[in-house]
Structure 1
Amino acid sequence: MARVLITAGASGIGRAMGEGFAAAGYEVWVTDVNAAGLDDLPSDWITHRANAASEEDMQAVFAAITAAGGLDVLCANAGVAGPTAKVEDVALADWQACVSVNLEGAFLAAKYAAPLMKAAGTGSIVVTSSTAGQFGYPNRAPYSAAKWAVIGLTKTLAMELGPHGIRANVICPGAVEGPRIEGVLEREAAAKGMTRDEVYDGYASGTSMGRFVEASDIANMAVFLSSDAARLVSGQVIAVDGHTENPDPKV
């Protein structure tokens, strides 16, 4: 049975990815820092409480995967929203915390997945970025910078690992319905002197399809990118966002 590892897979996009890969016949492995979320996952999923930005934690996860027989697909999905503030008001510690999870988390997962996939001569790496990695994003400097950076990382992985039969691609979600976006909406509303609904409507109207996306839309793309149907798709940045035209509702 093919095996997938999803970082930050206990909820939201990560959980939807797990459900998508399980439906496609994969053995699902999930890491997360949320112990309660892990306990709520299907009983046949293999779970590890781990911080994606901790090398010690990720070494332990990959030691278990190696003992289980290797890895076919990595979904480097861990991320945090970071602060919502003007750049001059962002504390260095908050910048570092945001970049650590979003960028170093993807790096560590790829670092330890690569040898396993090289040994197998095949594999798929899917990294979750954001439309914030394709546009400038006012008041979200740490998040935007990290999400741009993971695109460069993934394109480099595609070049390094392609000769070994390994593909690497980026998914850029737009605004995704769910609890995480609610926190973003509230913080942006406070920062911009708007209501939550005004920010929500601004995001939705900034897409040509006029709506947010669902976590399952992101999961469907991850499963496709890891399938034989996408066997020559690598180094690509694919937005699943209803076509974002304007990521800032006040512009």
Structure 2
Amino acid sequence: MSLHGRTALVTGGGGPLGRAFARALADAGAARIVLVGRSERALKEAAELMGEVARTAVCDVSDPDSVRALADEVADEYVSLLVNNAGVAGPVKPLVDIAPDEWDDVFAANVRGVYLMCRAFLPPMIEAGRGDIVNVASVSGKRPLLNRTPYAASKMALLGLTRTLAGEVGPRGVAVNSLSPGPVRGPRMDRNFRLTAQLTGCTVEEAERDFTSRSALGRLVEEHEVAQALVAMLAMPGLCGADIDLSAGMVAPA
């Protein structure tokens, strides 16, 4: 399925993985990339690296009014590819120590945000009889992740959303799939290793070694590898309701 001439919208577009997705889609021929996020500064920095192909829009995907305003702002574009990449890592601590507000914040960004974005951008795809939605889930939705219950639960919920929505809109020509990265090298994993070290009393280096030892390849996943997986998924006709794992072999419980 060619990306040439298509407009893609990437949430979390100001972050490292969002930028990698945007660059890979542009390199694969997308005519326009709409970068969406909460930080105008981060979005502008990302857009400057991409040139005229990029367009930015500030939006909080967990807020219905903000998503509605986003849809109005980019109504002049036919977004035929939606990449739901926005999300938060949430707290790193035992469930009994997690406050309800902390739990709700994770689900608002990681699940509610995907629902609202799909709800806003699906109608034109259904009307046109074609389109793609890729929800960025996580291997953590398929295996235990100790002291990260809201994050793991939200990503498992996202897998259920993906499969059910695929069944609803697949007959209308819209393919819905999920991409589940494992631990991706970058600021978020650095934060998680630091918090894990504080919680368990080990060093940051030990926290990282313990985590990566659970994968078959014994390493973290790189941002460009996840972006390449996204493009590969879009080149696979017939892929619908599927989840693609890119975790360096971290699916099976340790």
Q: TM-score, normalized by length of structure 2? A: 0.93
The question of whether the paired residues in 2 share the 8 Å contact of 1:189 and 1:195 is answered with yes
**Which of 130, 136, 139 in structure 1 is aligned with 2:138?**
130
Counterparts of residues 63-82 of structure 1 (less than 5 Å): 63-68=72-77, 70-82=78-90
Shift of 1:181: 1.0
1:149 aligns to what? 157
- Any idea what the Cα deviations from partners look like across 1:116-165, whole Å, max 9, x if unmatched? 11011111110011111001221011111100000000001110010111
Structure 1 residue 7 and structure 2 residue 39: aligned?
no
**Which of 82, 91, 101 in structure 1 is aligned with 2:109?**
101
- Check 1:245–1:233 CA distance in 2 against 1; reply closer, same or farther (3 A cut): closer
The question of whether the paired residues in 2 share the 8 Å contact of 1:125 and 1:169 is answered with yes
**Which of 91, 97, 118 in structure 2 is aligned with 1:89?**
97
Counterparts of residues 4-83 of structure 1 (less than 5 Å): 4-26=8-30, 27-41=32-46, 42-44=50-52, 45-68=54-77, 70-83=78-91
The question of whether the paired residues in 2 share the 8 Å contact of 1:76 and 1:126 is answered with yes
Q: Superposition RMSD on alpha carbons, in Å?
A: 1.3
The question of whether the paired residues in 1 share the 8 Å contact of 2:143 and 2:251 is answered with no
Residue 179 of structure 2 aligns to a residue whose secondary structure is: strand
Which amino acid in the other structure matches residue 234 of structure 2? S
Q: Distance in 2 between matches of 1:195 and 1:246?
A: 25
Could you tell me the percent identity over the aligned residues? 30
Give the gaps of 5 or more residues in structure 1. Answer: none
Structure 1 residue 199 and structure 2 residue 207: aligned?
yes
Residue 51 of structure 1 aligns to a residue whose secondary structure is: coil
Ranges of 4+ aligned residues in structure 1 off by more than 6 Å: none
Q: TM-score, normalized by length of structure 1? A: 0.94
The question of whether the paired residues in 2 share the 8 Å contact of 1:207 and 1:242 is answered with yes
Give the gaps of 5 or more residues in structure 2. Answer: none
- Check 1:157–1:245 CA distance in 2 against 1; reply closer, same or farther (3 A cut): closer
Q: Distance in 2 between matches of 1:183 and 1:22?
A: 29
